[in-house]
Chains A and B, each alone.
With several copies, the nearest count.
Chain A
Amino acid sequence: MTVRVQNEDFDLGAEILKLRQGNSGIGAIASFVGLVRDLNENARVAEMTLEHYPGMTEKALAEILEQAKQRWSIIDALVIHRVGSLKPADQIVLVAVSSAHRGAAFAACEFIMDYLKTRAPFWKKEQTEAGARWVDAHESDETAVQRWV
């Protein structure tokens, strides 16, 4: 189980290859990549800054992976989340889960994203034509996480 919070971009193919390597009991890998959209709530986004709480972020993400491991029969899981300055179409986050069968991989991957969205201390600030603004939390993200409770 791996958690990384970093400024640098990540290479999806290389990360998934590392996750697969050395375990031919893996039958399924579900992954998710989140990207910066150029349009959010009807405003053009020129740039985005991601702030986090160093220490707590890594701890929160590790706990989310641990919960996923307890709930589903998964083999390994990975979260990489970027911080700092990002542009539209840049990668923000990667979540990947390996397991023997696809059901566990899909469920755990979606679970991790839902928890990350509502429990991991990251904050987005957007630069739009109308100036800079902190992104508001979405009610829909809280609704999404409630289905796992």
Chain B
Amino acid sequence: MITLLYFARLRESFGISSEQAHPPAHVVDVRSLTEWLRQRGGAWQEELAQSRPVRVAVNQDMAGPDRAVCDGDEIAFFPPVTGG
């Protein structure tokens, strides 16, 4: 089981801020996790489209597509940051 968090526009588009998910065994990294979520269709397909500049953090560290995803991880999806 992994924890998924969504922030800002993604949180609004998906209508949820967090969920507990049980991805299938072929989900081993950020790339395959994103692809799996995209297959939900609708807002997921749209917001996680490869053309969209979505950022991912694994256990509160910024992560690239090759970053491994393990059981128990906290994985956040969000748009490029705009603080300051």
Contacts and interface: CB of A to CB of B under 8 A. Distances in A.
Partners in one complex: yes
Contacts of A119: 62, 81
B84 A121 contact: no
Contacts of A11: none
Contact of A117 (B8, B9, B11, B84): B84
A134 B79 contact: yes
A124 B57 CA distance: 19
Given A53-B5, A123-B8, A137 B76 contact: no
Contacts of B82: 122-124, 134-138
The dominant DSSP class at the A interface is mixed
B60 A81 contact: no
Interface in A35-62: 50-53, 55-56, 59-60
Contacts of B7: 51, 53, 121, 123
Interface in B47-84: 53, 57, 60, 62, 76, 78-84
B9 A124 contact: no
Contacts of B83: 50, 52, 81, 92-93, 116-117, 120-124
Of the listed residues A60, A81, A113, A120, the one surrounded by the most CB atoms of chain B closer than 10 A to its CB is A60
A123 B9 CA distance: 9
Interface in B7-65: 7-9, 11, 53, 57, 60, 62
